[in-house]
A and B are shown apart, each in its own frame.
Chain A
């Protein structure tokens, strides 16, 4: 039976329980976003008194839970963070784990009304939040960097896009650059350029209904934040109108690579229509609003596909759930490679993920096909390891993290099958099942925290469930967020 204790959501918390490690200035609230973020101490830290934390600084990190608040979308709703002590699950795969149950962490609210999902640096030490507020002279875009070791707001910078009307849409994408202190901000600015009264058929009755419609145009702008100095430069407006707001971006130590697509227009001549499937890749030196290189890029259009910056500085896009496009940051040339394990097409798409690893390989997952791969970009993405597993429930639904690789790469943790639920662990070397846990409950996302603790996400509270690396249950925590991702 779970016990529940409620407390002040912005009260004492943190590694020492006294709040000393936290220097938040209250909950960050953007103006026009929706998503909310709570900080979650790694379970390895939960209940430890000050001075008795983990010795490994890398493990002293928070996880950040991102989602949309449950209940009415009142601004205050997301401030009500659940405070849950340890809660031994009703049934356990390993009875010994009962004695190891420790105080479960208490999710603490950090931000609401985020303009877009957070983004973490490659080493997960920093997480970037973007908020947008409409102010008297335009749209104020604020980038906040969270320190994962303290959950404190480490850095913050703002830039105002002037002349933007209050009903504009500003989509912000922060981009970390491995090996650089510069965080790029890709701003997609969509403004109303006209309104028109039209008559449109009612979908059910067919009767014509008068309606005021808005005509929109989008373009992009760039801004750059220097983590050392705290200086923000920009915005640098790009002359790419009319463009689709949706873009893809990645950075290496010197450049920002940005894929954009021209918005097709009704009056486009045939030669323009013929190139409609193409996008454009532009390469900007970090800090600059002027591309040093720009070239047409083959389909598909950018739009949420996983990207990874490779050790060479080139960037890989995982497209169509089965092909990797490797773009040269130097020349913008592209080579398309197939991931053989992902080649099978099916009726339904699957979530796909691609993550660069410290040893230069990449970890790719396709849970809808029940397969994960470690591939070597230095060898044309040759498959080094392939691991098969039963397809989990909701392989396309959020969160997209359905399988994770342990930091040392010896174990892969994955959601259990659609039939059994739970979690499974596979030995990477042999591809064989090493352990499994199930009490009939389905999880929809899995993450591994720096301490090695596994965090699984389920639909209803307690939405957050913690496990040891051997899949022994550790405890659970409530959150008022419908969880989309963990950072």
Chain B
């Protein structure tokens, strides 16, 4: 199952993406606060959700890309970043009437760790713990699940950090940025995403816009065999 991620606004991008790839995505993954260098989904969640609906891929996954040096930092920094991320998702959920939590009760919440960034145990454990224990919308169902976007083969600590985390703070999934064979939305490569020893890779960014010379402002992603990515995203149930 393939889909897009983007730092731009879905409503501005989906038409050009459709022109380039000729198919509708199954899902979008969008940036939420704190992602200081991106357009944020939670800034205008209604327009973004409308864009996702119009694109034919009415599922929105959530990622946060904090200032990367913070990921090497303290528990207080990880806690604060997770708190802001959860609040941004809640604000979007409040703003968009037809935005629904996943039917399986598991909304994957991705932390963006770039190749040259080091992830400290203090930061990760506090970040993951806050996400996992967040009583989203007061529902009492605790539907947020911490997950990690990274390059598992990076020389900087990532897999080794999460391997040391407690069971409840372990990420539910890895989203791997490597390798990068490129491909098309409708013709993704065979599954060969890089992985960490202790956590399954369930999403693979097989084509980045810059490296693969895509015109549209999207990266291409593929779910692991048997993993339906859209089921772990917000669902836009009708056009907002």
Q: Is B31 an interface residue (CB 8 A)?
A: yes
| 226-255 of chain A: CB within 8 A of chain B | 244-246
By a CB distance below 8 angstroms, the chain A residues around B76 are 32-33, 115-116, 132, 169-172, 188, 190, 245
Please, how many angstroms separate the alpha-carbon atoms of A350 and B38 in the complex? 8
Q: Are A397 and B114 in contact (CB under 8 A)?
A: yes
B36 near A203 with CB under 8 A, answer no
Cα of A119 to Cα of B27 in the assembled complex, Å: 40
Q: How far is the CA of A66 from the CA of B70 in the complex (A)?
A: 11
**B 104-147 to A, binary, CB cutoff 8 A, 1 in contact else 0:** 11100000101111101111001000101101011110100100
Q: A190 contacts B8, CB within 8 Å?
A: no
A346 touches B8 (CB 8 A): yes
Is A303 touching B75 in the complex (CB atoms < 8 A)?
Answer: no
A304 contact set on B, CB distance < 8 A:
34, 36, 66-67, 70
Q: Which listed residue, A204, A299, A352, touches B40 by the CB 8 Å rule? A: A299
Q: How far is the CA of A264 from the CA of B88 in the complex (A)?
A: 8
Q: Are A263 and B79 in contact (CB under 8 A)?
A: no
Is B87 positioned at the interface, with any CB of A under 8 Å from its CB? Answer: yes
Q: Please, which residues of chain A bring their CB within 8 A of the CB of B7?
A: 321, 345-349
Q: Are A213 and B133 in contact (CB under 8 A)?
A: yes
Q: Does A268 contact B (CB under 8 A)?
A: yes
B35, B116, B126, B137: the one contacting A444 at CB < 8 Å is: B116
Among B125-173, those with CB < 8 Å from A are 126, 130, 132-133, 135, 137-140, 142, 145, 154-157, 168, 172-173
Chain A residue at smallest Cβ distance from B38: A349
Compute how far the CA of A117 lies from the CA of B72 in the bound complex, rounded to whole angstroms: 9
Stretch at the interface among A214-222, A283-291, A426-434, A448-456: A214-222
**Cross-interface CB contact of A115 among B38, B72, B74, B218, cutoff 8 Å:** B74
Task: Give A461 to B138 CA distance when docked, in angstroms.
Answer: 48
Taking a contact as CB atoms under 8 Å apart, the answer to whether A482 and B72 are in contact is yes
B21 at the interface (CB under 8 A from A): no
CA distance A42 to B137 in the complex (A): 52
Q: How far is the CB of B126 from chain A (nearest CB, A)?
A: 7
In angstroms, how far is the closest chain A Cβ from the Cβ of B103? 12
Q: Is A14 an interface residue, CB under 8 A from the partner?
A: no
Interface 9-mer from A16-24, A372-380, A388-396, A403-411: A388-396
**A 354-368 binary contact with B (CB < 8 Å = 1; else 0):** 000000000000001
Question: Nearest CB to that of A272 among chain B residues?
Answer: B94
When chains A and B are docked, how far (Å) is the Cα of A167 from the Cα of B32? 27
Which residues of the other chain, A, contact B71 by a CB distance below 8 angstroms?
398
Q: Which B residues from 62 to 112 make CB contacts under 8 A with A?
A: 65-77, 79-81, 83-84, 87-88, 90-91, 94-95, 104-106, 112
Which residues of chain B are within 8 angstroms of A444 by Cβ–Cβ distance? 116
Please give the distance in Å from A270's CB to the nearest CB on chain B: 9
Residue A459 is within 8 A (CB to CB) of chain B in the complex:
yes
Given contacts A115-B74, A203-B145, A246-B83, contact A349 B37 (CB under 8 A): yes
Kindly provide the distance from the CB of A172 to the nearest chain B CB, expressed in whole angstroms: 8
* Contact partners of A213 in chain B: CB under 8 A: 133, 135, 142
Q: Which residue of B lies closest to A319 (CB)?
A: B36
> Do residues B36 and A244 form an inter-chain contact, with CB atoms below 8 A?
no
- B123 touches which one: A34, A211, A394 (CB < 8 A)? A34
Q: Among the interface residues B4, B7, B209, B214, which one has the most CB atoms of the partner chain A within 10 A?
A: B7
Are A347 and B73 in contact (CB-based, < 8 A)? Answer: no
Task: Report the nearest A residue to B66, measured CB to CB.
Answer: A304
Once the chains bind, are B81 and A200 in contact (CB under 8 Å)? no
A201 at the interface (CB under 8 A from B): yes
Chain A residues with CB under 8 A of B74: 32-35, 114-116, 171
Judge whether A320 and B209 touch: CB under 8 Å.
no
Q: Is B208 an interface residue (CB 8 A)?
A: yes
Contact B114 A396 (CB under 8 A): yes
A114-B74, A132-B76 in contact; A303/B66 too (CB < 8 A)? yes
Q: What CA separation (Å) do A187 and B200 show in the bound complex?
A: 38
Interface flags for A464-487 (1: CB within 8 Å of B; 0: not) read 000000000000000000101100
B39 proximal to A (CB < 8 A): yes
- Kindly identify, within residues 194 to 217 of chain B, every residue whose CB is under 8 Å from any CB belonging to chain A: 200, 208-210, 214, 216-217
CA distance A449 to B145 in the complex (A): 43
Binary interface encoding of chain B residues 28-66 relative to chain A, with 1 for a CB under 8 A from any of its CBs, else 0: 000101111111101110000000000000000000011
B9: A residues at CB distance < 8 A: 345
A321 to B65, CA, bound (A): 12
CB distance from B102 to the nearest CB of A (A): 11
Q: Which of A203, A216, A394 contacts B115 (CB 8 A)?
A: A394
Bound-state CA distance A209–B166 (Å) is 14
Contact (Cβ within 8 A) B5 A347: yes
Check B172 against A246 for contact (C-beta < 8 Å): no
What are the residues of chain B within 8 A of A346 when measuring CB–CB? 7-8, 209-210, 217
Report the bound CA distance from A154 to B200 in whole Å: 49
Q: Closest CB of chain A to B87's CB: distance in Å?
A: 5
What are 14 A-B pairs with beta-carbon distances under 8 A? A33-B122, A70-B157, A201-B106, A299-B43, A301-B40, A320-B39, A345-B39, A345-B217, A347-B8, A348-B219, A349-B31, A349-B35, A393-B115, A482-B118
**Besides the known contacts A35-B74, A348-B210, A399-B68, 15 further A-B residue pairs in the complex with CB atoms under 8 A apart:** A35-B72, A200-B142, A201-B105, A218-B80, A244-B80, A266-B139, A300-B43, A301-B40, A301-B42, A301-B88, A321-B38, A347-B7, A347-B209, A394-B114, A396-B68
Q: Nearest 3 A-B pairs (CB), nearest first?
A: A266-B138, A303-B34, A397-B114
Q: State the A residues within 8 Å of B (CB).
A: 32-35, 66-68, 70, 73, 114-117, 132, 169-172, 188, 190, 198, 200-201, 203-204, 206, 209, 211, 213-216, 218, 244-246, 261, 263-264, 266-268, 273, 276-277, 299-301, 303-306, 319-321, 345-352, 368, 391, 393-394, 396-400, 444-445, 459-460, 482, 484-485
Using a CB–CB cutoff of 8 Å, the interface residues on chain B facing chain A are: 4-9, 12-13, 31, 33-40, 42-44, 65-77, 79-81, 83-84, 87-88, 90-91, 94-95, 104-106, 112, 114-118, 120-123, 126, 130, 132-133, 135, 137-140, 142, 145, 154-157, 168, 172-173, 200, 208-210, 214, 216-219
